[in-house]
Amino acid sequence: MSTGERSEARRRAVAVGPGVCHALGLTMLVITEWVRADLKDATSMASHGYLKGMIEFAGSLADTDWYKPAVDLYDNVSFGEPRAALWAAVIMALVVRLNRYGPPEAQQLLSWVTAGYCLLATLALLPYLAAPGVGVILVLALCGGVVNVATR
């Protein structure tokens, strides 16, 4: 296999492998920012019907053995700034996907690191999926499309 073929194979691995995690991270970013903006303008939290679903979902997740450690790990890995860290991970993932001519090894490493963080964020922020309800499928499809378009 020539050097050019190896580089192309690495690019395809970056394009296909962690793309699902990047799409999930972008989905969680969109949903959490939407909820944040919606609640910022709220006069009464009781007027938002999706909050009850989020609280119930968080309560059911709290009864599992894996959710609390995932949230704790997410908080520790993000150095107390989970919102900024998720923004950084998603933007870095999109930049790596858009950069066709970057060094393949570095891009692959960055892609997998951001994919891991996006997956961890998705697990920790699962209760937010109750906010859009069935609309989460549309948000995920749109985010998957953005990730796919960003992939060279």
Q: How far apart are CA 104 and CA 125, in angstroms?
A: 31
CA torsion 100-105-110-116 (nearest 10°) is 120
Q: How far apart are CA 54 and CA 75, in angstroms?
A: 19
Q: How far apart are CA 39 and CA 96, in angstroms?
A: 32
Q: How far apart are CA 100 and CA 88, in angstroms?
A: 20
Q: pLDDT value at position 79?
A: 86
Residue 81 has, within 13 A of its CA and on its CB side, a CA count of 6
pLDDT tens-digit readout, 14-27: 445 788 999 999 99
Cβ atoms of 118 and 25 closer than 8 Å: yes
Cβ atoms of 9 and 1 closer than 8 Å: yes
Mean pLDDT of the chain: 85
CA dist 116 → 17, 21, 63, 89 (Å): 11, 7, 24, 9
What's this model's pTM, rounded to 2 decimal places? 0.82
pLDDT tens-digit readout, 23-80: 999 999 999 999 888 888 766 555 577 888 888 999 999 889 999 999 999 999 998 8
Q: How far apart are CA 67 and CA 149, in angstroms?
A: 32
For tokens 């060279």, name the residue: 152
